Structure 1
Amino acid sequence: MRHALAGACAALLLAGCGSAAVPEPQAAPTTGATGTTGATATAGVGAPLPGEDPADRELEPIGVPDTNDSAAAGTGAPVTLVDVRLGTHEAFDRIVFELAGGGLAGWEVGYTDSPLSQGSGQPVEVPGEATLGITLTTIALPGDAPAGVQPWNGPARLRVPGTGVLDALVRDTVLDGWATFFAGLDERRPFAVGLLSDPQRIVVDLVAEQRSGVVPLGQRCESPAGFAVSYPEGWAVNDGDIAPPCTRFAPDPFTVPAGTDARVGAVTASVEPAAVDQVAAPDPQRDLQRSETTVDGRPAVRVERESRGRGLWPAGTRWTGYVVGLPDGEDGPRTLVVDTVELPQFDYARNVEVLDRMVETLEVTAGD
């Protein structure tokens, strides 16, 4: 099967193919709020507050938003929460948690119908019609902050005028390496979570509306490799003459060339003869975002990376993919990779959205 697929490094950007460290987003106007002592903090619309990082002010959400739970594991020594900021944009509201330390924080973010304090187990009063639980992991207790690092000591609730989605952010507590917050929203909205660096920040974007003009996933195909997936109406899929069937998807008709790694699919699938934790091994220098998830009940990781220019793609080329564990084959572990690449011939933003929606329909048909 592998003879017809792009090489693992070229197709995945997951194993030593070279990629550049994530650049900081460019500054753009925003509204900000930072914590101060008291019951509620607010901030006016207009210029950023003192100490606000310009990188918090990009105009696009940090990832492709949806309503599914998002999680990423922290690594290394616990880090200190040093600031919490709120911002508002035309299409989304933003929450920023700034961190300090040598480790890497993780997160667990998802909707809950019963917000409970992690310390007492008692209900937490959260304004709004929907509650998004936000837990930061690998977090140090304030008293364990390194010398010269001031832990955040903000209010019980944070608000910012002019938000379209966020009513208030409610602080719970830091306990056993977990810092818990609850975001009160006007209703259940799509959200995106990601990690920015220099300084380290976890960003949660709350999106007012889904993108318009979404093409329904009206077609479905099944691969003999052991999976089935739906894809957009009007898109083409390869027939299996050169590459295994149901592994190349594009909005226009295409031909898979023989004997080349040329990328012809806007979304591509491949099966790698390795375990999922090996294929999706973290790479802090290349990872832009990564979230642990499940696909059809199986362990999976969603990864966004950026090329360093050492493989087939120029430096700065972004890649988004899902790495999904499959049942073992006759020769051992197998992992499905479904991905899209930011190449000139493709609409990368659209393809990432299509990729996320396609993976939601993915079914593993091979038996354990």
Structure 2
Amino acid sequence: MRRMGAMGAAVAALALAGTALAAGASTAGAAPATASTATACPTGWGSGVKGGVTAGAVPLKDIRTGKHDCFDRMVFDVPGGGDIGYYVQYVDRLHQAGSGDYIPVAGGAILEVRVAAPSYDPETGAATYPGKVGRPLPGVDITGYRTFRDTRFAGSFEGETQIGLGVRARLPFRVTQLTDRLVVDVAHNWTGSR
């Protein structure tokens, strides 16, 4: 009997693997898709107060939002701001910093977001973000979002910009500091399911 060399064994292994793949491919088309291929959503964010102190005088340039499978996202762009300070919490009612004026925000719960970046240039006083107090955020359309319900600009006071974010319910959220950006994600639910 003749022995197979290393090359012959490799060829035989590839042939067997090809046969197994062909058999799997022919049955895979007939099998229904399973839920095990779904990606799990992150959990453990919580709904308590979150804050990161970093003083800054670099102005806010833009606020934008995005929809994801597991959460809705709001991004604050502060070019040149480095790590941006913030304070985010659920509130019963949104009151403008400084004046204390009430600003109505629609939704089952309200997230107050304070970002350590004014909506104006501190040196010239010129507006760098076109928000109007008590109005929805300019250029932000949250139609069709699963969690976000309303956005309200509350103005800037003492170097901070204040936003009211109306959400469907008091849901877990996370805040991520990135260079020149602050990201607020609000989960679609507490369970981590889509």
Aligned pairs (5 A) from 1:49-88: 64-75=44-55, 77-88=56-67
Distance 1:95 1:102 in 2: 17
Q: What is the aligned counterpart of 2:168 among 170, 186, 192?
A: 186
Shift of 1:124: 0.8
Shift of 1:171: 0.6
AA paired with 1:203? V
Contact 1:78 1:101 in 2 (8 A): no
Contact 2:119 2:127 in 1 (8 A): no
2:156 corresponds to 1:177:
no
Distance 2:145 2:168 in 1: 10
Q: What is the aligned counterpart of 1:119 among 98, 114, 124?
A: 98
Contact 1:133 1:182 in 2 (8 A): yes
Distance 2:112 2:162 in 1: 7
Structure 2 match to 1:195: 177
Aligned pairs (5 A) from 1:306-345: none
Distance 1:150 1:205 in 2: 26
Deviations 1:81-111 (A, max 9, x none): 0010011112210000000235542000010
Shift of 1:186: 1.2
Rg comparison, structure with higher value: 2
More strand by share: 1
Shift of 1:118: 1.0
Shift of 1:205: 0.3
More helix by share: 2
Contact 1:145 1:151 in 2 (8 A): no
Aligned length: 148
Distance 1:209 1:103 in 2: 31
2:114 corresponds to 1:132:
no
Task: Note the residue ranges of structure 2 that are not aligned, 5 or more in a row.
Answer: 1-40
TM-score relative to the length of structure 1: 0.37
Distance 1:119 1:140 in 2: 14
Deviations 1:313-355 (A, max 9, x none): xxxxxxxxxxxxxxxxxxxxxxxxxxxxxxxxxxxxxxxxxxx
Shift of 1:212: 4.9
Distance 1:66 1:100 in 2: 29
Deviations 1:280-303 (A, max 9, x none): xxxxxxxxxxxxxxxxxxxxxxxx
AA paired with 1:176? E
Percent sequence identity over aligned pairs? 27
Contact 1:97 1:201 in 2 (8 A): yes
AA paired with 2:72? D
AA paired with 2:176? G
C-alpha change, 1:135 and 1:128, in structure 2 (3 Å) is: same
Distance 1:129 1:102 in 2: 32
Q: What is the aligned counterpart of 1:209 among 180, 189, 193?
A: 189
Task: Note the residue ranges of structure 1 that are not aligned, 5 or more in a row.
Answer: 1-59, 214-368
Contact 1:78 1:103 in 2 (8 A): no
C-alpha change, 1:210 and 1:153, in structure 2 (3 Å) is: same
TM-score relative to the length of structure 2: 0.67
Please give the secondary structure, in 1, of the residue aligned with 2:64.
Answer: strand
C-alpha change, 1:154 and 1:117, in structure 2 (3 Å) is: closer
CA RMSD of aligned residues (A): 2.6
Contact 1:93 1:207 in 2 (8 A): yes
Shift of 1:211: 3.7
Higher relative contact order (CA 8 A, sep 6+): 2
Structure 1 match to 2:18: none
Deviations 1:19-41 (A, max 9, x none): xxxxxxxxxxxxxxxxxxxxxxx
